[in-house]
Each structure stands twice: as C-alpha cells, then as structure tokens.
Chain A
Amino acid sequence: QLQLQESGPRLVKPSETLSLTCTVSGGSISNSSYYWGWIRQPPGKGLEWIGIIYYSGTTYYNPSLKSRVTISVDTSQNQFSLKVSSVTAADTAVYYCARLRLGPHRLLPDLFDYWGQGTLVTVSS
C-alpha cells in the first residue's frame, strides 16, 4: 500500500524559507508511470496546486508561485522536497504531497491518485 508522509518544521518566520519533505513508502519514486507533487490549502480556502516533479528532475510550477518555489527529488531516499522562500502569512496552509499518475498515451499526468495526510505550516514571528 502506497503511503506518503510530509515532514518538516510546523512554524516558519516571515521572510524565511519553508522546507518540507515527502517520504514515499510502498512504491518507488523512480517508477516512470508517476510524477510527484505538492498542493496546499490555506485555512478556510480551497486547494492550490504548487508544483510537480518527475524522478528525472523535470519540474512544473504554479506560475503564481514559481519565483519562490523549488521542488527537488532524492531517488536514493525515495523522497521529494518543497522549498518556498520569502514566506508571509499568506503561505500559512496545510501542505499535502501527492502522487500523479500518467495515463496511457499521455505526456503529462492528469490526476492526483494518492495523497499524504497533510501538515499544517504556520508563518508567524
């Protein structure tokens, strides 16, 4: 059974960098049929896609966050990570990691089929 677990600091100061890691168990992050992604949900709001990464390192980012976001992958540890720089209170959210499945004959994945439980990160001094 595939499991994804987010980890990292729950409290980050304004202007600093938010860092989270997603550890994948029960499956290989190097499987060519999947991408891996980050999504967040600010309190009282809906889901916002942050970015995705392939095991090769190919990334796609939300244009609204692209200047502040970096996603990386460590295949040896079966993990991928998120960094958001220059955070403000608006970055306070539950952050989810998820797997994206590549459908047949498609160049990019369309859906998020497995999700982590999410972790609340608060930006506050």
Chain B
Amino acid sequence: EIVLTQSPATLSLSPGERATLSCRASQSVSSYLAWYQHKAGQAPRLLIYDASKRATGIPARFSGSGSGTDFTLTISSLEPEDFAVYYCQLRSNWPPTWTFGQGTKVEI
C-alpha cells in the first residue's frame, strides 16, 4: 500500500509570498499525481494532474513538479483566496486504490 506524506502540516505565509508544498510517496510511483484545493464548506477543486499539468481554469501561479517519490506544489505568489487545505492524491496500480495525503493547511 502506497502512503502519501505531505509536509509541512501547516504553512503560515502572507499574501504575495511563495508557497512550497511537499508530497512524498512511500515508494516510487507513476507521475499520475494530482493536487486539490479544499476550502471549508466547499467541494474540493482539482488543481494539478499528472504531477505538472494544470486543470482547466487554474491560474498560472499554481504549478506542480516531481517524479519518483517526491512531488511539489508551488504557488508562486499567494492570493487571499489561496488560503486553504491542499491534498495530493495518487492511484495505485494493484490493488487499485486511490490514496490521499493528509493535507497541508496554508494559513495567513
């Protein structure tokens, strides 16, 4: 079973600053990693898929990178609406399972 570990648990930053979020897999995985933004009371929103591709309508300040076991979500310059919880997620091949990391909270 693949475990996704996100760090840090909480990131305290100011608007305009750069945010760097990490997602580490317990074993080398495919690059089919996704990132989601989740705000309280709302549906999670897909940001990044295949590790580095932005989903439709996602601003260019969001970028993803990584391969193997280490993946990164970068927000180049935080906007007020970016303060939320971010999750990484991956599908394992066998048995087929869809795993989420435990989340990183980006707070002001």
Contacts and interface: CB of A to CB of B under 8 A. Distances in A.
A109 interface: yes
Contacts of A118: 43
A47 B34 contact: no
Contacts of A63: 95, 97
Contacts, number: 62
A115 B45 CA distance: 7
Given A46-B103, A47-B103, A108 B96 contact: yes
A46 B101 contact: yes
Interface residues of B, number: 25
A96 to B, nearest CB: 7
A60 B92 CA distance: 12
Interface string A91-121: 0000010001001000011111101111000
A52 B98 contact: yes
A113 B97 contact: no
Interface string A37-70: 1010000001111001000000010110000000
A113 B55 contact: yes
Nearest to B1: A63
A1 B97 CA distance: 28
Given A48-B100, A60-B96, A115 B55 contact: no
Given A46-B87, A47-B89, A49-B98, 10 more contacts: A46-B101, A52-B98, A60-B95, A103-B50, A110-B91, A112-B89, A112-B98, A115-B44, A116-B43, A117-B42
Contact of A115 (B43, B97, B100): B43
Interface string A61-81: 011000000000000000000
Nearest to B101: A46
A47 B87 contact: yes
Contacts of A46: 87, 100-103
